[in-house]
Amino acid sequence: KQEVTQIPAALSVPEGENLVLNCSFTDSAIYNLQWFRQDPGKGLTSLLLIQSSQREQTSGRLNASLDKSSGRSTLYIAASQPGDSATYLCAVNSGNTPLVFGKGTRLSVIA
Amino acid sequence: GAVVSQHPSWVICKSGTSVKIECRSLDFQATTMFWYRQFPKQSLMLMATSNEGSKATYEQGVEKDKFLINHASLTLSTLTVTSAHPEDSSFYICSAIDFLFSGELFFGEGSRLTVL
């Protein structure tokens, strides 16, 4: 059974810092991995999707990497801003089963 | 990117009534949609997988007679909370996979249900 773990559970940083969010999964046989952002009381916004054959994806200040063999993914946020404050979720798609989500990392960027 | 629309965003109802939540994929066909439930400060809990033209697949512990799911077309799935009770108050989120292109999952904005 696939399990997804996100570390840390919460993170508070000053504005401008670069930061890394971690996601690990137990079964490396995945189809893709997706990073989402959730603002309080809102749905999820897809940030980056990494297919199993890819090593990383970039979008603006965000960079997500995937090491399938070790069951790890990281989300790197450069030059953090207060508007980046949200909960970040990673989710693993193993193909025939629904996505498995981590519990998320709650990020606060302080101005 | 693809858009998934969910309606209503907020609903308050009396105990014992039924509430219907709609989930639409606006610019792609979704043969499969997922319904999640989220309690405050917790991650998403998958309730059921909705398949177009067939019965939904419910996760263990989710009452199928309580949470009725209908996936009548390739762009619409509905979740009906029947005989709602205060403990059903939660944030319900739907999602759909764009299988045709990337396999990326897109989420609706969520529906907050409060049962009085």
Q: Phi then psi for A83, rounded to 5 degrees?
A: -70, -10
Cβ contact A49–B104 (<8 Å): yes
Got the DSSP string for chain A?
Answer: ---EEEE-SEEEEETT--EEEEEEES----SEEEEEEE-TTS-EEEEEEEETT-SEEEETTEEEEEETTTTEEEEEE-S--GGG-EEEEEEEE-SSS--EE---EEEEEE-
Q: Is the pLDDT confidence value at A7 over 80?
A: yes
Report residue B103's pLDDT band, with 50, 70 and 90 as the boundaries. low
SS (H, E, C) B12-44: EECCCCCEEEEEEECCCCCCEEEEEEECCCCCE
Higher pLDDT, B28 or B23: B23
Cis ω on the peptide bond leading into residue B8 (within 30° of 0)?
A: yes
Residue of B nearest to A88 (CA): B43
Cis ω on the peptide bond leading into residue B40 (within 30° of 0)?
A: no
Cβ–Cβ < 8 Å for A75, A23: yes
Q: What average pLDDT does range A55-84 have in this prediction?
A: 96
Cβ contact A36–B1 (<8 Å): no
A chain contacts of residue B112, beta-carbon cutoff 8 Å: 41
Measure CB to CB from residue B1 to each of A34, A46, A98 and give the nearest one.
A46
Report residue B106's pLDDT band, with 50, 70 and 90 as the boundaries. confident
Cβ contact B44–A34 (<8 Å): no
Q: Is the pLDDT confidence value at A73 over 80?
A: yes
A chain contacts of residue B49, beta-carbon cutoff 8 Å: 98
Please give the pLDDT value at position A96: 61
